[in-house]
Each structure stands twice: as structure tokens, then as C-alpha cells.
Amino acid sequence: MLAPLTNQQSHEDGSLSEDEYHWLVKRAEGGFGIVMTCASHVQEAGKGFPGQLGIFSDQINTGLRRLSSAIKQYGLSSATSYRYAFAYGTYRHISTLPF
């Protein structure tokens, strides 16, 4: 299994970047049994660092569905790692307070 890595390659809006997409698909090509994304925030206000992957809207999830399909082409499973920053994040990374 490829363990989740915090690589800060996502776009600032939380969407999956092409660099991150290609990096994770290359891991699938390499023969890992499961490919897991980096720490992903489940609410826009839960962002903990710049370049953090998000999974909080249908628009953002389009990139994750594309990634999942690409990984499945290699016969592998994919998973998303969740991380909600809340008290560990800083206000400069989010647009609203999470409460």
C-alpha cells in the first residue's frame, strides 16, 4: 500500500492538480496494491495547509473520480485519507471559521 503523503500538490481551491494526478497514477503503475491520497479536508473551512486536497464538493470530486478510474485500470484499489484541521489549521488557509 502506498501510504498517504502530504505533498501539497493540489490547487488552492482543493482540486486535484495534474501533477498530483500523474504522481499517484505512476504509483499505481508501479504495482502498489492500494493507492491512498494525501490528507484531504472534508469541509472548505477544514483546510490545514496550502495545496491540501479537498473532498468537500461535487466540483472537486470530479478530479478524484478521474483519479480513481485511472487507478482501477491497473487493477488496484484507491482510498482517500481524511484530515480535518480545525484547531490545527491556521486562519490564513481558510476563508471562514469552521464553527
Gap between the Cα atoms of 24 and 38, Å rounded: 10
Query: When comparing pLDDT for 4 and 10, which is higher?
Result: 10
Quick: pLDDT tens for 66-98: 999 999 999 998 888 877 665 555 555 555 555
Mean pLDDT over 42-52 rounds to 83
pLDDT at 87: 54
pTM of the model: 0.79
Residue 99 — pLDDT band, cuts 50, 70, 90?
low
* Secondary structure of residue 17 in the 3-state scheme: coil
pLDDT at 15: 95
Mean pLDDT over 16-32 rounds to 90
Which run of H or E residues covers position 64? helix 58-72
